[in-house]
């Protein structure tokens, strides 16, 4: 099939999947994989191949960069003692355990090790797509692990391929490969991020800023490949650095544009990848003889089960080395947490890319024995991860009975109140600096106090909701009705405003009647202006001047709020994701104040 036909077909499949997934109550990635499998029954569609360089050079840089931008640096620092062994030692242990399973089923040692390297790392894109129902801290730990473990897997893969092709492997060469992959990848990512920072500091153009951000992941990957380092790790490091410095070197308009464009682009790439995984499974299944299918299915099941067991046991052995903060959970709670983490470790794009990268037949070196078997088993493990672990994960999370974590909400409320209070404290100084009169000061001060009161009220309402939820749970436990419930009368339909909220008394509505289909009349209430004036002098300058002063002061207050917000982030008081949420709101307010012309 031609490229345009394939593009349209994949786009239509993603559209159908997005329409079907909510109706069948399945995660969209699972639906897309199933649709890809169904499309694979058509011989012409089965010939659509997924070149490994496409995954490595087109899909992964964009998806990993976006996941890095939306990852909490504070979570990585806090849980580094968990993330480091899980992204290095566990990958090695998983690879060798899978190699042992391959040996039991008659695979050559080198082929089995390549298979182990391919399926060892959980994939960040699969985790991001299916793991967002996890508790926030567990999700961030798993996401950080998935972003950093690919470097270990790719080093193992290079060593295994070298062994299969008769290369000379020594402890020194292995050590140098590991150091080059990690140090080179980190350095490449840092260099590209630094260059991007220098460029972004010198421009305020929305287009230039976002084109620069788009080039960062591809440039980092390319530089890492040139120095034979980990391109995946380079992209992750560049993304983490850019996420930290971008509030100071980008504009509100560019951030709003990026926040709209990047998620949509990642959604399309992610959806296309899951469809192509389904097609790839069908392709390799039809390429292998029917006699070998049964054996490979057994290997696939054995490898998949081994990965789950090794991950659970490694967490169990690694637990004594973890730093304890806060109340120590019970043994049952820790066991349930490890079970959830085990099921959430799903395989995806990186595993498939590694398997497809296994050298095919060539005139000089020949084909590595069992390449089709590696691709088949890897695709099967990915399929089991998505179709078994994915639907099972919500049930496992419910079984684990995690306590509700309100830390993010509390930090959000704390940050909102802190920046609002700091802005009010600096209002007079900023007004004097920008030449703003007393009338506008009083107006903006009133708006600021209103926002502060709103933040306080929201915090109190959330705390009261927690108390009410606990009271309801206790009532259900005791099987007793709430003695305080069902009191008073509910407002009638005529007393309600939009969304069931009582209509404010200050609004005026005139009643009118229109004919009804049954021959009667229906009363219609239309809102009307209750204050008009024909005495406005459109030639006077004071309204324009007041508007300009109001805009200048509001923009200065927004800058002050951002400074305080970034200070809270530096001090570790609030999380990076909370900062990102509040920054998005501040950016929207700035775009509204500056107007659509500035935004464009």
pLDDT reported for residue 162: 82
For the chain, percent helix, then strand, then coil, each to nearest 5? 75, 5, 25
Nearest to 336 by CA among 406, 397, 403: 397
pLDDT reported for residue 52: 66
Q: Are residues 296 and 337 in the same domain?
A: yes
Q: Are residues 432 and 550 in the same domain?
A: yes
Among 53-62, 145-154, 370-379, 478-487, the least confident range: 478-487
pLDDT reported for residue 510: 46
Residues 229-250, mean pLDDT to the nearest whole number: 91
- Does residue 1 carry a pLDDT above 80? no
pLDDT-derived band at 126 (thresholds 50, 70, 90) equals confident
pLDDT reported for residue 59: 82
Q: Are residues 388 and 417 in the same domain?
A: no
Query: Which of 363, 379, 400 delimits the end of a domain?
Result: 400
CATH code where residue 341 lies: 1.20.1530.20
- Does residue 481 carry a pLDDT above 70? no
pLDDT-derived band at 224 (thresholds 50, 70, 90) equals very high
Tell which wins on pLDDT, 414 or 514.
Answer: 414
- Does residue 244 carry a pLDDT above 70? yes
Dump the DSSP string for 506-555. Answer: T--EEEEEEE-TTSSEEEEEEE--S---S---TT-SHHHHHHHHHHHHHH
Alpha carbon distance 21, 26 (integer Å): 5
Among 262-266, 428-432, 468-472, the least confident range: 468-472
Residues 255-282, mean pLDDT to the nearest whole number: 88
Alpha carbon distance 357, 368 (integer Å): 11
Does residue 483 fall inside a structural domain? Answer: no
- Does residue 499 carry a pLDDT above 50? no
Count of structural domains, the chain? 2
pTM above 0.85, yes or no: no
pLDDT-derived band at 321 (thresholds 50, 70, 90) equals low
pLDDT reported for residue 567: 92
Who's near 200: CB < 8 A, 6+ residues apart?
Answer: 209, 212, 246, 249, 250
pLDDT reported for residue 543: 67
Highest-confidence segment of 151-160, 301-310, 329-338, 374-383: 301-310
- Does residue 454 carry a pLDDT above 60? yes
Residue-range definition of the domain harbouring residue 585 = 406-478+542-600
Query: Which of 400, 427, 453 delimits the end of a domain?
Result: 400
- Does residue 561 carry a pLDDT above 80? yes
Q: Are residues 130 and 248 in the same domain?
A: yes
Does residue 76 fall inside a structural domain? Answer: yes
Does residue 494 fall inside a structural domain? Answer: no
Does residue 417 fall inside a structural domain? Answer: yes
Alpha carbon distance 228, 226 (integer Å): 5
Does residue 457 fall inside a structural domain? Answer: yes
- Does residue 76 carry a pLDDT above 80? yes
Q: Are residues 396 and 414 in the same domain?
A: no
Q: Are residues 381 and 460 in the same domain?
A: no
Phi, psi angle pair for 212, to nearest 5°: -60, -45
Tell which wins on pLDDT, 574 or 326.
Answer: 574
Q: Are residues 425 and 281 in the same domain?
A: no
Residues 516-521, mean pLDDT to the nearest whole number: 53
pLDDT reported for residue 310: 95
Q: Are residues 372 and 458 in the same domain?
A: no
Q: Rounded to the nearest 5 degrees, what angle is found at the Cα of 76, between the Cα atoms of 73 and 79?
A: 145
- Does residue 531 carry a pLDDT above 50? no
Q: Are residues 357 and 448 in the same domain?
A: no
pLDDT-derived band at 515 (thresholds 50, 70, 90) equals low
pLDDT reported for residue 522: 46
Average pLDDT, the chain: 81
Q: Are residues 421 and 282 in the same domain?
A: no
Burial 538-557 (b: 16+ CB within 10 A, else e): eeeeeeeeeeebbebbbbbb
pLDDT reported for residue 558: 92
Nearest to 60 by CA among 138, 134, 146, 177: 146
- Does residue 599 carry a pLDDT above 50? no
Residues 255-279, mean pLDDT to the nearest whole number: 89
pLDDT reported for residue 57: 78
Alpha carbon distance 303, 575 (integer Å): 38
Residues 123-132, mean pLDDT to the nearest whole number: 72
CA distances from 376 to 36, 53, 125, 347 (A): 16, 19, 21, 14
Alpha carbon distance 380, 216 (integer Å): 33
pLDDT reported for residue 123: 82
Does residue 548 fall inside a structural domain? Answer: yes
pLDDT reported for residue 353: 81
pLDDT reported for residue 362: 43
Does residue 13 fall inside a structural domain? Answer: no
- Does residue 494 carry a pLDDT above 50? no
Burial 107-134 (b: 16+ CB within 10 A, else e): beebbbbbbbbbbbbbbbbbbbbbbeeb
CA distances from 117 to 56, 144, 294, 354, 408 (A): 16, 19, 23, 8, 36
Among 31-40, 62-71, 177-186, 460-469, the least confident range: 460-469
Alpha carbon distance 131, 148 (integer Å): 17
- Does residue 15 carry a pLDDT above 80? yes
Helix locations, 288-330, DSSP H: 290-318
Query: Which of 367, 400, 433 delimits the end of a domain?
Result: 400
Give Cα 104 to chain centroid, integer Å: 38
Q: Are residues 311 and 434 in the same domain?
A: no
Residues 442-466, mean pLDDT to the nearest whole number: 80
pLDDT reported for residue 302: 95
Does residue 233 fall inside a structural domain? Answer: yes
Residues 567-571, mean pLDDT to the nearest whole number: 90
Q: Are residues 459 and 394 in the same domain?
A: no
Report percent pLDDT > 70 for the chain.
Answer: 83
Please count the other Cβ atoms lying within 10 Å of the Cβ belonging to residue 100: 15
pLDDT-derived band at 307 (thresholds 50, 70, 90) equals very high
pLDDT reported for residue 524: 43
Q: Is 496 helix (H, G, I), strand (E, B) or coil?
A: strand
pLDDT reported for residue 153: 87
Among 188-192, 406-410, 457-461, the least confident range: 457-461
Who's near 493: CB < 8 A, 6+ residues apart?
Answer: none
């Amino acid at each position: 099939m031609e490229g345009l036909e394939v593009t349209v077909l994949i786009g239509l499949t993603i559209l159908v999947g997005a329409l079907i997934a909510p109706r069948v109550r399945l995660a969209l990635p699972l639906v897309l994989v199933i649709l890809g499998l169904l499309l694979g029954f058509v011989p012409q569609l089965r010939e659509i191949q997924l070149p490994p360089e496409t995954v490595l050079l087109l899909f992964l840089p964009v998806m990993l960069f976006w996941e890095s931008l939306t990852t909490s640096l504070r979570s990585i620092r806090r849980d580094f003692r968990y993330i480091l062994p899980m992204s290095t030692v566990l990958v090695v242990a998983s690879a060798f355990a899978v190699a042992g399973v391959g040996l039991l089923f008659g695979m050559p040692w080198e082929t089995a090790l390549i298979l182990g390297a391919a399926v060892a790392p959980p994939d960040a894109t699969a985790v991001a797509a299916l793991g967002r129902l996890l508790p926030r801290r567990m999700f961030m730990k798993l996401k950080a692990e998935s972003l950093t473990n690919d470097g270990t897997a790719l080093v193992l893969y290079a060593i295994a391929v070298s062994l299969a092709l008769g290369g000379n492997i020594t402890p020194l060469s292995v050590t140098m490969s590991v150091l080059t992959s990690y140090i080179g990848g980190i350095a490449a990512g840092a260099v590209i991020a630094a260059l991007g920072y220098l460029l972004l500091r010198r421009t305020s153009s929305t287009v230039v800023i976002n084109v620069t951000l788009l080039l960062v992941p591809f440039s980092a990957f390319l530089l890492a490949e040139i120095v034979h380092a980990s391109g995946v790790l380079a992209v992750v490091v560049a993304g983490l650095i850019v996420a930290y410095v971008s509030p100071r070197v980008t504009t509100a308009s560019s951030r709003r544009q990026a926040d709209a464009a990047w998620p949509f682009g990642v959604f399309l790439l992610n959806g296309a990848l899951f469809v192509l995984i389904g097609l790839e499974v069908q392709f390799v299944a039809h390429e292998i003889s029917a006699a070998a299918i049964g054996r490979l299915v057994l290997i696939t099941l054995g490898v998949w089960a081994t990965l789950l067991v090794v991950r659970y046991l490694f967490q169990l052995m690694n637990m004594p080395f973890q730093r304890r903060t806060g109340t120590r959970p019970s043994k049952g709670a820790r066991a349930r947490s490890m079970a959830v983490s085990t099921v959430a470790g799903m395989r995806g794009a990186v595993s498939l890319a590694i398997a497809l990268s296994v050298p095919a037949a060539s005139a000089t070196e020949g084909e590595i024995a069992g390449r089709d078997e590696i691709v088949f088993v890897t695709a099967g493990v990915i399929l089991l991860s998505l179709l078994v672990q994915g639907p099972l994960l919500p049930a496992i999370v419910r079984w684990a009975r995690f306590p509700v974590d309100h830390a993010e909400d509390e930090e959000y409320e704390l940050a909102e109140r802190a920046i609002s209070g700091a802005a009010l404290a600096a209002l007079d100084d900023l007004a004097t600096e920008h030449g703003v009169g007393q009338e506008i000061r009083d107006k903006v001060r009133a708006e600021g106090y209103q926002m502060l009161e709103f933040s306080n009220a929201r915090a109190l309402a959330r705390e009261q909701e927690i108390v009410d939820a606990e009271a309801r749970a206790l009532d259900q436990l005791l099987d007793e009705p709430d003695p305080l419930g069902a009191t008073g009368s509910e407002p009638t339909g005529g007393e309600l405003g939009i969304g069931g909220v009582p209509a404010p008394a200050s609004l005026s509505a005139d009643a009118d009647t229109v004919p009804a289909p049954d021959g009667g009349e229906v009363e219609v209430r239309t809102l009307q202006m209750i204050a008009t004036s024909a005495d406005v002098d459109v030639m006077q300058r004071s309204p324009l001047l007041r508007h300009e002063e109001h805009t200048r002061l509001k923009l200065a207050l927004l800058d002050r709020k951002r400074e305080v917000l970034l200070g809270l982030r530096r001090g570790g008081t609030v999380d990076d994701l909370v900062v990102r949420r509040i920054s998005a709101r501040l950016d929207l307010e700035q775009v509204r104040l500056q107007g659509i012309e500035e935004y464009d």
